Chain A
Amino acid sequence: MTVAERVPPMVRAESVTKRYGPIEVLRGIDLAVAPGEVACLLGPSGSGKSTFLRCINHLERIDGGQLWVDGELVGYRRSGDKLYELKAREVARRRRDIGMVFQRFNLFPHLTALGNVIEAPVRVLGTAREAARAEAQRLLERVGLAEKANAYPGQLSGGQQQRVAIARALAMHPKLMLFDEPTSALDPELVGDVLDVMKGLAADGMTMIVVTHEMGFAREVADSVAFLDGGVVVEAGPPAEVLGNPRHDRTRAFLDKVL
Chain B
Amino acid sequence: MSETQTVRVVPVRHYGRWLTALLVVGLAALFLRALLDSPNLEPATIGDYLFKDYILDGVVTTLWLTLLAMVLGTVGGVLLAVMRLSPNPVLRAVSWAFIWVFRGTPLLVQIIFFGFLGALFPRLTLSLPFTGTVLFDQPTSVVVTGTVAAVLALSLNEMAYAAEVIRGGILAVDGGQTEAAAALGMSPALTLRRVVLPQAMRVIIPPMGNETITMLKSTALVSIIAGRDLMTAVQTVYQGNYKVIPLLVVAAIWYLALVSLLSAGQWAIERRFGRGFSRGGVR
Residues of A within 8 A of B (CB): 57, 59, 88-89, 92-96, 98-100, 102, 104, 106-112, 119-120, 123-124, 152-155, 165, 168-169, 172
Contacts and interface: CB of A to CB of B under 8 A. Distances in A.
Given A109-B276, A109-B277, A92 B182 contact: yes
Contact of A123 (B174, B182, B186): B186
A225 B117 CA distance: 72
- Please give me the 10 A-B residue pairs with the lowest Cβ-Cβ distance, nearest first: A96-B185, A106-B180, A152-B276, A100-B183, A120-B184, A106-B176, A95-B185, A110-B198, A92-B187, A124-B185
Interface in B242-283: 275-280, 282
B185 A108 contact: no
Contacts, number: 80
A168 B276 contact: no
Nearest to B176: A106
A120 B186 CA distance: 7
Given A123-B194, A124-B190, A155-B282, 20 more contacts: A59-B179, A88-B188, A89-B187, A92-B188, A95-B184, A102-B176, A104-B176, A106-B174, A108-B181, A108-B199, A109-B199, A109-B276, A110-B198, A124-B186, A152-B275, A153-B276, A154-B276, A154-B282, A165-B180, A172-B185
B278 A92 contact: no
B72 interface: no
A123 B180 contact: no
B46 interface: no
B184 A110 contact: no
Most buried by A among B179, B183, B187, B278: B183
B177 interface: yes
A172 B183 CA distance: 11
B195 interface: yes
Contacts of B278: 154
B183 A57 contact: yes
A172 B185 CA distance: 9
Nearest to A116: B180
Most buried by B among A96, A119, A123, A124: A123
Interface of B: 174, 176-177, 179-188, 190, 194-195, 198-199, 275-280, 282
B9 to A, nearest CB: 44
A154 B277 contact: yes
A123 B192 CA distance: 13
A187 to B, nearest CB: 16
Contacts of A100: 180, 183
B273 to A, nearest CB: 8
A181 B137 CA distance: 66
A104 B175 CA distance: 11
A110 B186 contact: no
Contacts of A124: 184-186, 190
B277 A99 contact: no
Contacts of A107: 180
Contacts of B195: 108
Contacts of B181: 108
B237 to A, nearest CB: 49
A112 B177 CA distance: 15
Contacts of A110: 198-199, 275-277
Contacts of A119: 184, 194
Contacts of B179: 59, 102, 106
B188 to A, nearest CB: 6
B177 A106 contact: yes
A110 B183 CA distance: 18
Nearest to B194: A123
A148 B139 CA distance: 64
8 contacts: A88-B187, A95-B185, A108-B177, A108-B180, A109-B276, A111-B276, A124-B185, A154-B277
A209 B158 CA distance: 49
Nearest to B202: A110
B190 A95 contact: no
Given A106-B176, A109-B199, A155 B183 contact: no
Contact of A154 (B182, B183, B190, B279): B279
Contacts of B188: 88, 92
Contacts of A155: 279-280, 282
B276 A98 contact: no
Contacts of B184: 95-96, 119-120, 124, 168-169, 172
A99 B182 CA distance: 10
B274 to A, nearest CB: 10
B182 A95 contact: yes
Given A102-B179, A123-B194, A152 B282 contact: yes
